[in-house]
Structure 1
Amino acid sequence: MRRPASQIMPVGGNLPDVYDFPRDIQPILDRYCVTCHDVESHGTYTEGGETKPCGPLSGGISLAGDRGPIFSHAYANLTMTAQFTDGRDGNSNKAPRTIGTGASPLMDKISSGAHHGVKVTAHERDMVRLWIESSAVYAGTYAALGTGMTQEAPNIPAKCGQCHKKDELRRPYPGLRGGGIAYGNPTTVKFNQQTLLNLSRPEYSRMVLAPLSKKAGGYGICEAKSGKPVLTSRDAPEFQSLLRAIQRTKDELDQMKRFDMPNFIPNEHYLREMKRFGMLPADHDDSEHVDYYELDQTDWKSHWSPTPH
């Protein structure tokens, strides 16, 4: 060798070493995408001399940070529409540029200006680029493992069952156990619990607004297909029963909490191991809040070699 190996150095440019989607990526989507890709309308914009609406659900998706049963709507929609390619659950031995940012449509949408003039800063582009290249994770902390996931699903009214097949509105998330549905499948995006239920703003859940007529303030999605409104009022029994069920699921999540929610406390297993390895004092009160991101960093740094090998 002509020289010794280069010493591994931290990534510069004020970029995180471990990415966290709600903390690092969602703010970028909020600045550039949510004006159109939200569950509610944000007025209009002009492009090519034509006035166009800013939502709701432009392109059929929301990129807001609203929570679903496991992930946020933004993360679930970007995953299910294959806007990034991270290789999860796939076969290996892939051809060049079929994984990572080279095969992720999201990169072009945020940086070329071709997607309705959207063009992020160089720093924001690096944030998204390195997030994808480091596996496009959702949670950036081990404290999230085994927490903040709700399994409760509302009963589907008989009126919905007249058009939708059995369990069509209960599709599992692709890639999770029991899913078995490929990413990028448009049916998966439309009928997935992750995006049908809004556990941040239940009244904006697609499950209640899709069958509600536009005249009554809904999306009228089912109306467009059938030619007649399914629900014509928010006072309809079906609307109210669905909304109450989704609100109960939101209340459940608010009680158990997810890693990106205020006052979240990691579960007993995380805290036990942090005590075991000396990251927390043995007499730490498990009911007290801890900075789990900082605890993770302290744990990782404890494994660093004091001198380069």
Structure 2
Amino acid sequence: RDYDGKAQVVLLRPADGMGFYHVRPLAPRKAPPVIPSRLPPDPGQWAVVMVQDVYNGLAPYVERGEIKRLCVINEIEKAQRVPLCDTVPTGRGYAANSAFGFQFPLVSCGATYAAKKIWGYVPVDGDGSAHFKVPTGRPIYFAAIDAKGRAVQRMRTFTHFMPGEIQSCVGCHADRNYATGQVGARPAAALRDPVEITPPEWGTENFSYWKVVQPVLDKHCVKCHNAREHPKGIDLSGDRTDFFSVSYDVLTRTGTTWAAHPERHGAGQPATPYVSWISTANGSESNIRQIKPYQWGSPASKLADQVLAGHPDKEGKARVRLSDAERLRIFAWIDLNIPYYGEAKTNYPKRMGCRRMLPPDLAEVVRDVAERRCASCHAGGKVPQTFYTRVTNVEDNAVLLAPLAKAAGGTEACGRAVFKTKDDPDYKAIRKVFDPITAMLKATPRMDMPGGPAAWNK
């Protein structure tokens, strides 16, 4: 094929800067019939979905009767264009303002790259059918929820609806080549009008970890799991860290490659001891095959098991009792693939992940102090320092708290009081490196801090 017409198909040369695609000769044709609209006169802002049988696609892993509700979830658009840059305060290299597998702005630690919103829940009948209204004009997907509030299965993509549209599906993750056979009785849900979505107890704003999940941890967990007391290294405080918050970092990043190297763009499927989540980083595409029910999310998470069991003591007695609504907050977060930020907007586009607030000279100052005052006890100058760094309540960072005398407000976790008081010059030197970050966040809060969204809107 060429522009000279020497091949079987003639290619028309571009004209006025425009090319031609699927050219048809100009000729009289019979006008096609006008198909009248089937939409109601006033379709409103909702569509209707009819699910024939949620168990079609879940068998043999899910028994009939296990699925009680469907969760209606909205993926949130990335509303801010952020150009890539190669230099940030804490590093340089290709796409230095991305992190955790090429996310910018960060939504999670390498799990979901899209913020989420839960519209609510709709009931599933005993025969597996559901008939309900859904919002229109936005990307929507569904999750099958069991009696405990856990997502047994969820869509790995999304769909769209138009006002007044009526759609149906045969099941959850049914084989795409499957065709329903002869249908007997109509599904029970089809015999009733579509139900409206019941919104979650926390509301229908975008799902933010620090708004929805952290209040549950503050109420039930932080008393025992905090900066000063953290059995098995589990600190569930809500203090903000360089990327996220303490509890989020501990629950989602512990044991992963990204705990020490958030700058890496590609990584395999991570494994954390507390929550089961799916990586979206380059190189982990094979996990798209992980569609077996119960394989990941809250049904496969130790945190969810502990919540259901009441965090039992050695005798098996429950120590913590969460309400159904509180449990659902935690399960929903895990099953949304652990989002932290509720939106892909940022006030700091030229920082790693468009979020990271880390003093660039912290490592150098700590190294200097450690070599002079810690090497006798800490081989190689390694000091008590977590992979995350607090940027609120900065004096609760282990590097300041552990060597400080108890009488001065520290923990002496180092075994002795390296810093007798907070007036120690080395203590003050470490503390001082946080001052610019503190001032910056006060003037322009990050999106997970009070005033952050308002600052962005300016």
**TM tier relative to shorter chain:** 0.5 to 0.7
Bigger Cα Rg? 2
- Whole-Å Cα distance in 1 between the matches of residues 430 and 241 of structure 2? 15
Residue matched to 1:37: 225
Deviation at 1:263, TM superposition (A): 2.4
Report SS of the residue matched to 2:441: helix
Report SS of the residue matched to 2:252: helix
Change in CA separation of 1:138 and 1:2 when aligned onto 2, cut-off 3 Å:
closer
TM-score normalised by L of structure 2: 0.44
Deviation at 1:108, TM superposition (A): 2.0
2:218 pairs with 1:26: no
Residue matched to 1:221: 413
Residue matched to 2:245: 72
Residue matched to 1:236: 424
Does the 8 Å CA contact 1:67/1:73 hold for their aligned counterparts?
Answer: yes
2:402 pairs with 1:205: no
TM-score normalised by L of structure 1: 0.63
Structure 1 gaps of 5+ residues are 41-55, 170-189, 269-285, 288-309
Aligned counterpart for 1:87 among listed residues 271, 275, 278: 278
Change in CA separation of 1:114 and 1:5 when aligned onto 2, cut-off 3 Å:
closer
Deviation at 1:240, TM superposition (A): 1.0
Deviation at 1:247, TM superposition (A): 3.3
Does the 8 Å CA contact 2:385/2:398 hold for their aligned counterparts?
Answer: no
Greater share of residues in helix: 1
Deviation at 1:151, TM superposition (A): 3.3
Aligned counterpart for 1:14 among listed residues 171, 194, 201: 201
Change in CA separation of 1:98 and 1:220 when aligned onto 2, cut-off 3 Å:
farther
- Whole-Å Cα distance in 2 between the matches of residues 241 and 97 of structure 1? 50
Summarize the alignment of residues 1-309 of structure 1 with structure 2, pairs less than 5 Å apart. 6-7=131-132, 9=134, 10=197, 12-14=199-201, 16=203, 18-40=206-228, 56-81=229-254, 82=272, 83-88=274-279, 89=281, 90=284, 92=287, 93-94=289-290, 97-116=294-313, 117-144=319-346, 146=349, 147-153=354-360, 154=362, 155-161=365-371, 162=375, 163=378, 165=380, 191-194=385-388, 197-223=389-415, 228-265=416-453, 287=458
Deviation string, structure 1 residues 82-127 (Cα, Å, up to 9, x no partner): 3211112455144764421122111122221234511210111111
Deviation at 1:267, TM superposition (A): 7.7
Same amino acid, percent of matched pairs? 24
Does the 8 Å CA contact 2:405/2:417 hold for their aligned counterparts?
Answer: yes
- Bigger drift between 57-66 and 5-14 goes to 5-14
Structure 2 gaps of 5+ residues are 1-49, 53-128, 135-196, 255-271, 314-318
Residue matched to 2:113: none
- Whole-Å Cα distance in 2 between the matches of residues 2 and 64 of structure 1? 41
Change in CA separation of 1:96 and 1:222 when aligned onto 2, cut-off 3 Å:
farther
Report SS of the residue matched to 1:23: helix
Change in CA separation of 1:112 and 1:157 when aligned onto 2, cut-off 3 Å:
same
Deviation at 1:13, TM superposition (A): 4.3
- Whole-Å Cα distance in 1 between the matches of residues 236 and 250 of structure 2? 7
- Whole-Å Cα distance in 1 between the matches of residues 407 and 303 of structure 2? 34
Greater share of residues in strand: 2
- Whole-Å Cα distance in 2 between the matches of residues 108 and 127 of structure 1? 14
Residue matched to 2:92: none
Deviation at 1:11, TM superposition (A): 5.3
